[in-house]
Each structure stands twice: as C-alpha cells, then as structure tokens.
Structure 1
Amino acid sequence: MKCVIVSVVAILAVIQLVVQPGQAITCGQVDAALAPCIPYLTGDGEPSGACCGGVKAIQGMAQTTADKRACCTCVKAAANRYANLKDDAAQALPMKCGVSMDIPVSRSVNCEIIN
C-alpha cells in the first residue's frame, strides 16, 4: 500500500510540473519527472509506473526543438550525476515505458544535433 501511495504522489508531482505552453523547460522539472526511474536505472528489474509516468511527462514537455535540446541537456547532466547508472537500462527506458522519444538518455549524447 505504501508503494502505491508513493507512486501516486510521484505521478501527481510530475503532473504539477508539466510545462505550460510558452514556458521554458527546467532541469528541475526533468529531474523530478525522472526521479522515480533511479532504482531502475541503477539496479535491475523493470521501470515503475511512476517512472514511466515521468518519461511520458517529459515526452509531453518536449514538443519543440528547443524544448527537446533543453530536456536532452538536463537528462545528460542527470545521467552524469549517477556513477552507477546502467547505460543499457538508460537507453532502453523509453521503449520499456512504451514511449517513442527523440531525446536519448545517455551520458555522451550531443544535444545540439537533436531536432
């Protein structure tokens, strides 16, 4: 029951952070959306519902090229903060959540080439 409550709270937090049209995306928003993914990205198993909700929220935030590049930069910075992040898990995250994203989850991506 506690896990369900935590998941619901995380999803609600992500929903609150969805960017309104015309506003810039911040790394705080991206970090909050991906925070539930840390256990999956640094361990084993599958991404949680809250994690996939965050991935979907980022997809919804990143509609323009500028937004995609900003999200990419934030995701790259977040990936570099976790020494034990598993690159294969990070790259598989969107697919595992059933989301098609133009933003790679990688420590080494060149965000300037994203369209």
Structure 2
Amino acid sequence: MAGVANKLVTMLLVCALVVATMTSVDATLSCGQVVGNLTPCLNYLKNGGPVPALCCNGVRSLAGSAKSAPDRRQACQCLKTAAGGISGLKENYAAALPAACRVTIPYKISTKTNCNAML
C-alpha cells in the first residue's frame, strides 16, 4: 500500500511541475506547494469519511497563500490538474473539501473549473 501512495505522490508532483512550467510568471505560489498542502487529503478525496486534521491544515495554508489573482489562478490550475491525475478521486469529495475544513476558497475543486475566471 505504501508503494501505491508513493507512486501517487510522485505522479502528482510530476503533474504539478508540468503545470508550473505552463502558468503565469506572475504567480508566486508553486504547484509543488499546492500539491504538498493537499497530499494529506488523498484518502478523503478517494474514500470520504472524516477529513484528517493535517488535510484541513493544508487547505487553510493554501487559502492563506493564494491572496493575489495570479496565485488563485495558479492554485486552481494546479488543483484541477492534480485532481485529473488521481485515480479513484470522487469529484463530490473534492468539491466539498473546503467546506468540510471550514475554509472558503473562490473556486470549486474540480477538473471542470475554469481557472482563468479567477479574479
């Protein structure tokens, strides 16, 4: 099981690096930071259940880091790309994650979110 988790984290980091090379240079938030903050959420995103405290800490950290419009677009795009690369991810759990952690973010965590609309 640990081997599968390591492969998943590696895949997410590769996706984050690919997206990081395609995004605006105005953003100061990296995809590595975004993925790193939400790695503790993987089990919840696939299986539901109680949200781990480390996951909610990561969501809070991400929300606090994405203050500017370029950073919000970057975080959104990183989440969108990472979500698309997680086998077994449940879209409804991803969309519910901020509310489950009592954090407000200005976009839905989904593979369908239009990140370019972030202001």
Taking the aligned partners of 1:23 and 1:65, their CA distance within structure 2 comes to 8
Identity, in percent, stands at: 36
Judge conservation of contact 1:72–1:103 (CA < 8 Å) in 2.
Answer: yes
Rounded to whole Å, the distance in 2 between the matches of 1:44 and 1:27 is 24
Question: Bigger shift: 105-114 or 22-31?
Answer: 22-31
1:42 maps to 46
How many residues align? The count is 94
**Contact kept in structure 2, 1:71 and 1:103, CA below 8 Å:** no
Which one of 86, 102, 109 corresponds to residue 82 of structure 1?
Answer: 86
How far did 1:103 drift?
A: 3.0
**Structure-1 separation of matches of 2:64 and 2:27:** 13
What CA distance in whole angstroms lies between the structure 2 residues aligned with 1:50 and 1:83?
A: 21
Q: Which runs of 5+ in 1 are unaligned?
A: 1-21
Give 1:47 deviation, angstroms: 1.1
1:97 alignment partner, one of 97, 101, 113:
101
AA paired with 1:73?
Q
TM-score (norm 1): 0.78
In the TM superposition, what whole-angstrom CA distance separates every residue of 1:11-65 from its partner, at most 9, and x where no partner exists?
xxxxxxxxxxx97111000000000000000013021000000000000011011
**Over 6 Å off, 4+ runs:** none
Q: State the AA in 2 paired with 1:27.
A: C
- Structure 2's unaligned 5+ residue stretches are 1-25
CA distance in 1, matches of 2:49, 2:92: 13
User: C-alpha distance in 1, partners of 2:112/2:52?
Assistant: 25
Could you state the TM-score of these two structures normalised by the residue count of structure 2? 0.75
